[in-house]
């Protein structure tokens, strides 16, 4: 087992009607709130009206930035930070999925400085202070609600990159599974796939940690058992709650205890697909993961077999495990080949170039240009 430090300062509020205490929580930080949200799901569901009404009643002064897109972009982060700065906000309230919360993490460190937000991703600006962030999660997938990471795209530089610092943990995250009842079937499935992929990325990292391996297997088993049930009954609160909790646990540090790294090569390759073709994050992972396992089978075959046998509860070889995992992703309705997405044109060259440009690699399974070519062929 590797040495490790466990640190997670997020206060998680989980359950039905848990937003009742949101106002009291925000008050801890002040009166001026910057409300950040996405393209419109919060307005459609009525959550926006309800929140704004409640918070105004409680005397909050609200400025807002709406329109954060899925696979969020740095321009929105800069524009929202400018609004936060102008209004001298005391606290940021992010209401949405991973894209909104990730953007808000960067907004929180960008407001106190005048620099471009992208400078945090390049290391040109160091995060020294942050406006407190309170998150209301509306989609179970990324785990952003209980981790410090933020993933944002910069199309001018052709990069989709991650940033994280101890300052970018949300102070509080509110998770009411009822708020995920409106997530459509496809994004519900992508979320299930994403949480499974987070477990896999930890599994294929470095460092032997048997108890942590058992955590990983348990989280994936939960998703394999309840994911399909949820997809067959999208209005079921209990299934929504189980998947929401699993997604949080899949990337809040628990799966990393006793390891020196995860792998994250599949995420890194998947980001190129999102960057180039706006592929939803979870879908990019169900396309790349089976191909990645087939490609690196020679090196991590016994680990693949151990994973497959653990999550499906029967002895499986590496090949059988990969086939079962791929079939499971398909059964969720997720794409497992790039061709499933019907994107026209020559895709091999731009993807290869993007992988070279962004230096796609895993921390454990390093990738070269030869690997890129083979991986692309395997998932075409
Ligand atoms: O924009 P709106 O209108 O809100 O619609 C969103 C969006 O179209 C919709 N949605 C969200 N909640 C809803 C809802 N629709 C109906 N009812 C609701 N309750 O769902 C769509 C997808 O939302 P998005 O936030 O983009 O999805 P997700 O939560 O999967 O986040 C994806 C982003 O997170 C990054 C990904 O790369 C991607 O950019 N990730 C962040 C991580 C982290 N911070 O730790 C780790 C992940 O590996 C991932 O990289
Ligand atoms: Zn992910």
* Contact in structure between 333 and 185 (CB atoms under 8 Å): yes
Instruction: Say what the pTM is.
Output: 0.98
Domain check: are 190 and 165 in the same one? no
Instruction: State the pLDDT at residue 292.
Output: 98
Confidence tier at 268 by pLDDT (50, 70, 90): very high
The number of the ligand 1 atom at minimal distance from the alpha carbon of 197 is 48
Q: Which of 130, 158, 180 is the last residue of a domain?
A: 180
Number of domains in the chain: 2
Q: Has residue 263 got a pLDDT over 90?
A: yes
Are residue 164 and residue 125 in the same domain, yes or no? yes
Residue 296 has pLDDT above 90, yes or no: yes
Whether the pLDDT of residue 369 is over 90: the answer is yes
**295 in a domain, yes or no?**
yes
Pick the ligand that lies closest to the CA of residue 95. Answer: 1
User: Mean pLDDT over residues 213-220, rounded?
Assistant: 98
Residues 196 and 127 in one domain: no
Residue 62 above 90 pLDDT?
Answer: yes
Q: Is 139 in the pocket of ligand 1 (CB under 6 A)?
A: yes
Residue 169 within any structural domain of the chain:
yes
Q: Whose CA is nearest to atom 15 of ligand 1?
A: 183
* 200 and 86 assigned to the same domain: no
Distance from the CA of 245 to the center of ligand 2, in angstroms? Answer: 15
And the tokens for 374?
A: 């083979």
Q: Tell me if 153 CB under 6 Å of ligand 1.
A: no
Task: Kindly state whether residues 151 and 164 are assigned to the same domain.
Answer: yes
Q: Tell me, yes or no, whether 5 lies in a domain.
A: no
Do 65 and 36 sit in the same domain of this protein?
yes
Q: Atom of ligand 1 at shortest distance to CA of 47?
A: 19
Note whether 176 and 189 are same-domain residues: no
pLDDT tens-digit profile of 166-180?
999 999 999 999 999
Q: Is 168 in the pocket of ligand 1 (CB under 6 A)?
A: no
Q: What is the pLDDT of residue 114?
A: 83
Our answer on whether the CB atom of 70 is closer than 6 Å to any ligand 1 atom is yes
Q: What percent of the chain has pLDDT over 70?
A: 100
Domain-terminating residue out of 151, 180, 209: 180
Beta carbons of 23 and 78 less than 8 angstroms apart: no
Answer yes or no: is 140 within a domain: yes
Q: What is the mean pLDDT of the chain?
A: 98
CB 262 within 8 A of CB 256: yes
Establish if 3 belongs to a structural domain.
Answer: no
147 Cβ inside 6 Å of ligand 1 = yes
- Which domain CATH number covers 314? 1.20.1090.10
Of 143, 165, 180, the one marking the end of a domain is 180
pLDDT-based confidence at 115, cuts 50/70/90? confident
338 close to 276: Cβ distance less than 8 angstroms = no
Same domain, 159 and 195: no
User: Among 98, 120, 177, which residue has the most ligand 1 atoms within 8 Å of its CB, making it the best to mutate?
Assistant: 98
Name the residue range of residue 313's domain. Answer: 185-379
CATH number for the domain harbouring residue 119: 3.40.50.1970
- Mutation probe of ligand 1 site: the residue of 10, 41, 80, 197 with most atoms within 8 A of C-beta: 41
How many percent of the chain have pLDDT more than 90? 99
Confirm if 195 and 254 have CB atoms less than 8 A apart: no
**Is the sign of the CA dihedral 379, 196, 227, 237 positive or negative?**
negative
- From ligand 2's centre to the CA of 282, what distance in Å? 6
Nearest-ligand number for the alpha carbon of 274: 1
Residues 118 and 194 in one domain: no
CA Rg value for the chain: 20
- From the centroid of its chain, how far is CA 301? 27
Selection from 223, 28, 204 nearest residue 143 by Cα: 223
Q: Is the CB–ligand 1 distance for residue 138 below 6 Å?
A: yes
* Residue 51 clears pLDDT 90, i.e. is over it: yes
Residues 15 and 145 in one domain: yes
376 lines ligand 1 (CB under 6 A): no
Q: Whose CA is nearest to atom 28 of ligand 1?
A: 98
């Amino acid at each position: 087992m590797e040495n490790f430090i466990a640190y997670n300062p997020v206060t998680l509020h989980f359950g039905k009607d848990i937003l009742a205490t949101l106002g009291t929580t925000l008050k801890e930080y002040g009166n001026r709130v910057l409300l950040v949200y996405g393209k419109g799901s919060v307005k459609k569901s009525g959550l926006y009206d309800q929140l704004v009404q409640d918070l105004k009643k409680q005397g909050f002064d609200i400025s807002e930035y709406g329109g954060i897109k899925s696979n969020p972009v740095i321009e929105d982060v800069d524009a929202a930070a400018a609004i936060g700065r102008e209004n001298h906000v005391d606290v940021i309230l992010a209401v949405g999925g991973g894209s909104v919360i990730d953007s808000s993490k960067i907004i929180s460190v960008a407001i106190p400085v005048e620099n471009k937000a992208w400078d945090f991703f390049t290391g040109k600006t160091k995060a020294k202070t942050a406006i407190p962030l309170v998150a209301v999660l509306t989609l179970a997938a990324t785990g952003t609600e209980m981790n410090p990471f933020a993933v944002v795209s910069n199309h001018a530089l052709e990069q989709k990159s991650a940033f994280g610092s101890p300052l970018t943990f949300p102070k509080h995250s509110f998770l009411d599974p009822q708020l995920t009842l409106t997530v459509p079937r496809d994004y519900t499935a992508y979320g299930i796939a994403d949480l499974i992929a987070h477990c896999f990325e930890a599994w294929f990292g470095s460092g032997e940690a048997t108890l942590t391996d058992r955590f990983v297997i348990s989280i994936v088993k939960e998703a394999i058992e309840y994911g399909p049930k949820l997809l067959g009954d999208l209005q079921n609160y209990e299934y929504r709650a189980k998947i929401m909790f699993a997604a949080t646990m899949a990337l809040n540090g628990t799966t990393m205890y006793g390891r020196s790294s995860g792998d994250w090569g599949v995420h890194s390759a998947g980001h190129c697909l999102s960057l180039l073709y706006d592929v939803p994050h979870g879908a990019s992972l169900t396309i790349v993961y089976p191909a990645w396992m087939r490609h690196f089978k020679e090196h991590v075959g016994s680990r693949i077999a151990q994973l497959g046998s653990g999550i499906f509860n029967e002895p499986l070889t590496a090949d059988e495990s990969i086939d079962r995992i791929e079939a499971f992703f398909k059964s969720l309705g997720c794409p497992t080949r790039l061709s499933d997405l019907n994107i026209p044109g020559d895709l091999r060259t731009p993807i290869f170039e993007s992988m070279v440009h962004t230096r796609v690699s895993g921390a454990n399974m390093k990738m070269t240009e030869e690997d890129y070519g083979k991986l692309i062929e395997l998932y075409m």
